[in-house]
Amino acid sequence: MKFKTINPATEEIIAEYELMPKEEVLDAAKKSHAAFQEWKQLDIYERADYFRRLAQVLRNNKERYAKLMTLEMGKPIKQALTEVEKCAWSAEIYADTAGKWLEEEIVHADGKKHIVAFEPLGCILSIMPWNFPFWQAFRFGILTLIAGNVSILKHSNVVPQCALAIEEAFIEAKFPENVFKTVITDHETVAELIKSDLTQGVSLTGSTSAGAKVAELAGRNLKKVVLELGGSDPFIVLDDADVEFAAKSAVSGRTMNSGQSCIAAKRFIVMKSVADEFSRIFAEATNALIVDDPMDMKTDVGPLVNKDGLTQIEMQVHDAVGKGAMILAGGKRLERKGYFYKPTVLSNIKNNMKVVTEEVFGPVAPIIIVNDEEEAIKVANNSEFGLGASIWTKDENKGLEIAKQIEAGDVFINSVVKSDPRMPFGGIKKSGIGRELSKYGLKEFVNIKGINVYEVRR
């Protein structure tokens, strides 16, 4: 079976690919399982050296990798370059810190000695989406491999060139053969991998519906699972915020990656006393964005990934306007080739609008006006999602107090939500299960083994 990839900026066909048959994919899993037997024996500090080489490979090929992302899924090239650099930086961070994080722990109990050890599990399957083709694959892959596991990557079929380039990066960094493998295949074969005794866990970044299916299948086969799913992140502007700073930050928070991010700000909850000023600055800054060829370094916002994504955004905005929303900026597609949509700011928002009740995967920002902090918290938590949130205030103590009341995995004060390899990342409610990144993500796919030693007593 074949599939085609399309350049979202031009609507031209890039290439045609053949899906790997089930037998070939399962054979790859057997090879990965065999590679694990040797990889796990390496001292973690020996494994760390591979990741320092990987960081150098990523930097040496940064421009080529960035262009692949821009070609296949439309990411503005300047953002794609930053993404590759972040992957390299993360490889270095974990090379320096993972050994300490996985050191055995001593517990004082009733025996002579009690040790907590952290041991790898085996072959871990990763199912990754198209929107951050390198970062999402590497933020999982680096931690999983440095812990002593091996990994098979099933990437989105939107970005097969990126998927293959990721495997090539591990090869160029001289990782042992089959420690990291990319497979280009279909959902049915992925299901067989999850069922197989050759895999010991699965991590998925994607939609909530996809996550539910993978979790169900993994559960039936007693496999550990980590899910990073959708979000509808609140961006809460309090009455004591630096309004200009918040509004200009809101632009990047909503339009980064053309708005196609699970942790993008998606609901702008603003105190009534500052709503007019915030809305004006936000709309003006949004209108000033350059929406153009993503290969141009001057471009701020590129196309949506495909026609379906563009149609979905149009439908959600049309629904909002039909129910009384006012367009302060954008509100329509660009009249040109490609799946471009003008970054949009909406006001006069009601709770029954799809821009509030659904995840909006594109550059559309609904402004929701509230009267006080209590209402802001209530509106922020009125969502099936719980991934990230941001709070904008000059009062740090107030921000911290509100942060504790927000139902989310990550809360930022006076910053847009972002991932950092030193901090845990993940959501609650329908935004996911488990954590990625930091020492907490490192320990998701290890056997936390208790070893207990007692004196011989006669």
Cβ contacts of 159 within 8 Å, gap of 6 or more: 5, 68, 69, 72, 73, 130, 133
Question: Could you confirm whether 228 is annotated as catalytic?
Answer: yes
Beta-carbon contacts of residue 76 (< 8 Å; ≥ 6 apart): 70, 258, 294, 299, 300, 301, 302
Instruction: Decide if 364 contacts 261 (C-beta within 8 A).
Output: no
Cα separations in angstroms, 156 against 5, 84, 126, 166:
11, 18, 11, 13
Q: Which of 228, 407, 436, 444 is catalytic?
A: 228
Residue 41 buriedness (CB in 10 A; 0-12 / 13-18 / 19+): exposed
Q: How far apart are CA 94 and CA 49, in angstroms?
A: 10
Structure tokens at 342: 């003008």
Q: Which helix (H) or strand (E) holds 451?
A: strand 446-453
Q: Is 18 helix (H, G, I), strand (E, B) or coil?
A: strand
262: left (phi over 0), alpha (psi -120 to 50) or beta: alpha
Alpha carbons 342 and 362: distance in angstroms, whole number = 10
CA distance 16 to 417: 36
Pairing of strands 265-271, 233-237: parallel
Catalytic: 123?
no
Q: Of 120, 118, 121, whose CA–CA distance to 198 is shortest?
A: 121
Nearest to 379 by CA among 391, 363, 397, 393: 391
Structure token pair of residue 22: 């089930």
With H, G, I as helix, E, B as strand and everything else as coil, classify residue 238: coil
The residue annotated as part of the active site, out of 262, 359, 407, 436, is 262
Strand partners, 410: 388
List the catalytic residues.
Answer: 228, 262
